């Protein structure tokens, strides 16, 4: 019975998932240098302090983009650990859709993937509901016709406050995207051929190279997301203080010279209203092998205004946990292969949805090795769980590192430790959306198959 339902559904997904290629969003005229816009926050419609209830309507906008509640990026959802979150989605798009809660350990039925479950039909509504368990900077986006729908503007931040974080005078959200990638990529059939992508400007919260003014003395927590379909960011700024990553606060403060942010990745920085300000720039980076050795391109200009005392760094507390020692066995291997020319991308030689579901027991600790034998880098993302990065290219991280999206460089294996605590069928895929769309996606089953 289940098999039959699955087969029917997969046929339906294959038939309908990419059937209606939406029109490309018209490119808006962009003037660099305006003030940084802020994505409007989602309104909490529930008076209960422990419940966050949000209404999201997905619909096309006049400019050709697709948006939640008419805004790109979508409304920022905010909750606290322990809150119940209820999101009422209304689909007024010309295609079916879903919402996936990227990085959050939600129950499988709320994960927003069409695997074994139908997407939300045109004109229909669906209510997502789950409890928030971890602090961090997460995001949400469709997981059906993902390549087009994310590209057209359907994404937003989901912030879960860290109760132990020191007080910040304010928070900034920087959502980076290169719009209309899908249309361009399809026209050119050039899935990031080296320089091509670098000619496309990066927008932040929909603006080109904006300016933000900090008040002298204030401390700002900056939450950064790369919502691009396939573009990599390599962020540089003087004196970067990185306090968080994909899964909230780091185990130790990082003072990186640069931060590579693959599609789907997040980072949390602390900015101080001090000195003369700074420029956050991107060093052009190609998925075909890293830095292009070009001049950095300014993304955001940070000015500091006002008299008085410069802000000083906050005394953040970190867990100081060392990485888990690599147990030197491997339970699961994922081999990433494919090529631009062929336009096919595979995990273990299989293309979604023609895949073998690998299964692990609920409660098991599983060592996963992701090997990249292809010609581009791939951000490997697993649903329903975070994982610890044991090593990258054989080198363990300096401190315990927990992620949900990890970039896998060419021929540089990444070893992961997964505590399989969330039962269900979970997508594991590359977050370069054209790659996922063309097959680089599989399913890891946790538990006994009961859903
Ligand atoms: Cu951000 Cu499977 O997705
Ligand atoms: Cu990929």
Report the distance separating Cα 184 and Cα 301, nearest Å: 28
The closest of 108, 128, 150 to 22, measured between CA atoms, is 150
CA distances from 21 to 95, 145, 152, 168 (A): 9, 9, 11, 43
Instruction: Tell the residue nearest (CA) to atom 1 of ligand 1.
Output: 102
Query: Whole-model pTM?
Result: 0.92
pLDDT band at 123 (very low <50, low <70, confident <90, very high): very high
Q: Is the pLDDT of residue 2 over 90?
A: no
102 CB near ligand 1 (under 6 Å): yes
pLDDT, residue 199, reads 65
Mode of pairing for the β-strands spanning 207-208 and 233-236: unpaired
Q: Give me the mean pLDDT over the 409-438 stretch.
A: 96
Q: Give me the mean pLDDT over the 334-362 stretch.
A: 93
pLDDT band at 183 (very low <50, low <70, confident <90, very high): low
Q: Is the pLDDT of residue 26 over 70?
A: no
Question: Residues 385-398: pLDDT tens digits?
Answer: 999 999 999 999 99
pLDDT band at 30 (very low <50, low <70, confident <90, very high): confident
The closest of 105, 41, 44 to 75, measured between CA atoms, is 41
pLDDT, residue 198, reads 52
- Ligand at minimal distance from the CA of 339 is 2
pLDDT band at 181 (very low <50, low <70, confident <90, very high): confident
Which residues have C-beta under 5 Å from ligand 2, the single-atom ion?
A: 378, 430, 432, 435
pLDDT band at 16 (very low <50, low <70, confident <90, very high): very low
pLDDT, residue 410, reads 96
Among the residue ranges 59-73, 130-144, 340-354, 382-396, the one predicted with the least confidence is 340-354
Q: Is the pLDDT of residue 11 over 50?
A: no
Report the distance separating Cα 39 and Cα 175, nearest Å: 9
Q: Is the pLDDT of residue 8 over 60?
A: no
Ligand 1 atom closest to residue 103's alpha carbon, by position in its atom list:
1
pLDDT, residue 32, reads 85
C-alpha 415 – ligand 2 centre gap (Å):
17
Dihedral sign from CA coordinates of 80, 248, 405, 188: positive
264 CB near ligand 1 (under 6 Å): yes
| 293 or 76, higher pLDDT | 76
When computed from its CA atoms, the radius of gyration of the chain, rounded to whole angstroms, is: 21
147 CB near ligand 1 (under 6 Å): no
Report the distance separating Cα 242 and Cα 150, nearest Å: 27
C-alpha 248 – ligand 2 centre gap (Å):
24
Ligand 1 atom closest to residue 264's alpha carbon, by position in its atom list:
1
- Ligand at minimal distance from the CA of 409 is 2
Residue 19: exposed, middle, or buried by beta-carbon count in 10 A (0-12, 13-18, 19+)? exposed
Question: Residues 38-82: pLDDT tens digits?
Answer: 999 999 999 999 999 999 999 999 999 999 999 999 999 999 999
The closest of 311, 416, 307 to 369, measured between CA atoms, is 416
Long-range contacts of 348-355 (CB under 8 A, 24+ apart): 348/442, 350/439, 350/442, 351/438, 351/439, 351/440, 352/429, 352/436, 352/439, 352/440, 352/441, 352/442, 353/10, 353/13, 353/14, 353/115, 355/441, 355/442, 355/443
Question: Residues 251-284: pLDDT tens digits?
Answer: 999 999 999 999 999 999 999 999 999 999 999 9
Among the residue ranges 246-250, 286-290, 302-306, the one predicted with the least confidence is 286-290
pLDDT, residue 380, reads 98
pLDDT, residue 185, reads 57
Averaged confidence pLDDT in the chain: 90
C-alpha 187 – ligand 2 centre gap (Å):
19
pLDDT, residue 368, reads 98
pLDDT, residue 352, reads 96
The closest of 65, 64, 47, 46 to 55, measured between CA atoms, is 46
Three-state DSSP state, 105: coil
Q: Distance from first CA to last CA of the chain, Å, rounded?
A: 14
């Amino acid at each position: 019975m289940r098999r039959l339902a699955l087969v029917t559904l997969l046929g339906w997904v294959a038939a309908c998932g990419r059937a209606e290629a939406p029109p490309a969003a018209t490119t808006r005229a962009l003037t660099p240098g305006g003030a940084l816009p802020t994505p409007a926050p989602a309104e909490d419609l529930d008076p209960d302090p422990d419940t966050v209830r949000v209404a999201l309507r997905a619909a096309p906008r006049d400019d050709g983009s697709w948006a939640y509640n008419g805004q790109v990026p979508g409304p920022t959802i905010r909750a606290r650990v322990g809150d119940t979150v209820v999101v009422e989605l209304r689909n007024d798009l010309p295609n079916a859709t879903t919402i996936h809660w990227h990085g959050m350990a939600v129950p499988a039925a709320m994960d927003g993937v069409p695997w074994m479950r139908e997407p939300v039909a045109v004109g229909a509504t669906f209510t997502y509901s789950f409890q928030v368990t971890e602090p961090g900077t997460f995001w949400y986006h469709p997981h059906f016709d993902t390549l087009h729908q994310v590209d057209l503007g359907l994404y937003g931040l989901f912030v879960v406050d860290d109760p132990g974080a020191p007080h910040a005078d304010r928070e900034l959200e920087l959502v980076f995207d290169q719009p209309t990638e899908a249309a361009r990529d399809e026209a050119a059939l050039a899935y990031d051929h080296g320089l091509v992508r670098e000619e496309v400007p990066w927008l932040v919260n929909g603006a080109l190279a904006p300016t933000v003014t900090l008040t002298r003395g204030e401390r700002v927590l900056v939450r950064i997301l790369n919502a691009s379909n396939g573009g990599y960011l390599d962020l540089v700024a003087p004196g970067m203080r990185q306090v968080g990553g994909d899964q909230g606060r780091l185990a130790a403060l990082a003072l990186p010279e640069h931060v590579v942010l693959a599609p789907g990745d997040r980072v949390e920085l602390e900015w101080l209203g001090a000195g003369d300000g700074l420029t956050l720039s991107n060093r052009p980076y190609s998925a075909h092998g890293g830095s292009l050795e070009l001049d950095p391109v300014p993304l955001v200009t940070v000015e500091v205004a006002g008299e008085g005392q410069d802000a000083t760094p906050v005394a953040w507390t970190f867990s100081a946990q060392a990485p888990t020692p690599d147990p030197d066995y491997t339970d699961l291997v994922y081999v990433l292969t494919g090529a631009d020319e062929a336009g096919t991308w595979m995990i273990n030689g299989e293309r979604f949805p023609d895949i073998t579901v690998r299964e692990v027991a609920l409660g098991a600790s599983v060592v996963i090795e992701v090997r990249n034998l292809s010609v581009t880098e791939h951000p490997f993302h697993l649903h329903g769980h975070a994982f610890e990065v044991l090593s990258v290219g054989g080198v363990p991280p300096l401190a315990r590192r927990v992620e949900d999206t990890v970039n896998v460089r060419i021929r540089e294996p990444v070893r992961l430790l997964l505590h399989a605590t969330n039962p269900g069928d979970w997508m594991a895929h590359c977050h370069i959306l054209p790659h996922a769309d063309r097959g680089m996606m599989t399913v890891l089953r946790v538990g006994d198959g009961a859903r």
